Amino acid sequence: MKVLVLYDYPPSPAGLATQGNLLHRGLQELGVDVYSAHFESAQEKEWYYRWFEPDAVVGVGYWGHAPHLVLHPQRYGVQPVPWLVADGYMANYHEVLDALPLVLVTSKWVKSVYIRDGLRGKNISVLPVGCDTDSFIPRDKNDPKVIAVREALGVSPDQLMILTVGGDATSKGAQEVMQALAIIDTQAPDWKYVCKVWPQPRTMQQNLVDLQLAGQLGIDKNVVYSTNVISRNFMPYLLAACDIYAAPSRLEGFGMIQVEANSCGKPVIGIKAMGMLDTMVHGENAFLATVAQEIRLRETTLGDESGYEEGHRVVFKRPRTVDYRASVHDIADHLLGLMRDAELRNKMGEAGRKRVIENFDYRVIAKRFTEIISKRLEIS
């Protein structure tokens, strides 16, 4: 079997790049002949098509990347296999994707979104994102590298550290977490809430809104926003430094960092919806807050990134859910229970680690990929 993997290569710390890189690693360790290229690099992709002659070109992205992940390989007679996430609404490339023998998606929820938005779904298989369980491991709280992370964030040894990580914190449910923390503040042990976000103009504006909310709630002294570029080498220690990983995301097609937190032996606060239904088991490795609100749109405006002219307007026959809001009171109850009970945190963290190793280790995912490819495309 010869596979070319297309993603943001060489890999950045972002989720899609990590998804592609871990598939490459897993396939390589299985003995598969595999190479990677940047999904937008037309010349390099063509170079691989000509001399490598891959059996399958696996492209990591979302439906809007179809020109790079599907149409380009097809132009050269190579079999594309897109591995897709969702972004709330699929607006184009239905015929292109429906005609493929195989489309991979990251969760059952993503599959349901694509079917809701017009794909038949007969050619769609679920392949979760892999996790590097050798790097994301439980670490002793007295590990100097873990201590250094907490010190740099201003978290004292006797404080409980609650962590949220994302391109921005709001989309990961940080505002709901802050409201929950304000409710339980006087009942909970001493705590610090750390939001690690990616530096970008949109994030800067959102951070100000979030910090203003923290001030209004009276918890701003306990909320830390860290806006720095970091590598994947740092992430395992950041997650190891926390006591609880809280990300009841508003939109989540899989939940890579929730899985990585579990792999580090940390309990997770999530939402009972979307991709987390595949990765988290309520009461076992996570507490999943119920959905309090679904945000729906009757229309949207699309552009070149979706294969349309700028300003293309789409009106839905029925309003479409574009994101969710978790119950603040559920989050508060779950947080308080975990904050008060170290034994419960350890028990759920251990269960999470076990579940990740069995189901989401990158080698497990690579093996599952080869099985799907062999069966659906008859490639040996």
Distance of alpha carbon 190 from alpha carbon 161, whole angstroms: 9
The amino acid sitting at 261 is: A
Q: Which residue in 272, 274, 301, 296 sits closest to 286, CA to CA?
A: 272
Residue 330 · residue 290 · CB < 8 Å: yes
Distance of alpha carbon 294 from alpha carbon 272, whole angstroms: 12
Q: Which residue in 274, 319, 272 sits closest to 300, CA to CA?
A: 319
Helices (H), the chain: 15-29, 42-51, 66, 72-75, 94-98, 108-116, 144-153, 174-184, 201-217, 235-241, 256-263, 276-279, 328-340, 342-359, 362-377
Residues 205, 118, single domain; the answer is no
Distance of alpha carbon 238 from alpha carbon 232, whole angstroms: 10
Q: How many domains does the chain have?
A: 2
Per-residue pLDDT of the chain (380 residues; tens, 9 = 90+): 999 999 999 998 889 999 999 999 999 999 999 999 999 999 999 999 999 999 999 999 999 999 999 999 999 999 999 999 987 778 889 999 999 999 999 999 999 999 999 999 999 999 999 999 999 999 999 999 999 999 999 999 999 999 999 999 999 999 999 999 999 999 999 999 999 998 888 778 888 999 999 999 999 999 999 998 888 999 999 999 999 999 999 999 999 999 999 999 999 999 999 999 999 999 999 999 999 999 888 887 877 767 777 888 888 888 888 899 999 999 999 999 999 999 999 999 999 999 999 999 999 999 999 999 999 998 87
Residues 226, 274, single domain; the answer is yes
Q: pTM of the entire structure?
A: 0.94
Residues 82, 115, single domain; the answer is yes
Residues 346, 370, single domain; the answer is no
* Cβ count near 271 (within 10 Å): 30
CA 206, 222, 236, 280 dihedral sign is negative
Give the structural domain span for 112.
2-130+361-377
Residues 242, 350, single domain; the answer is yes
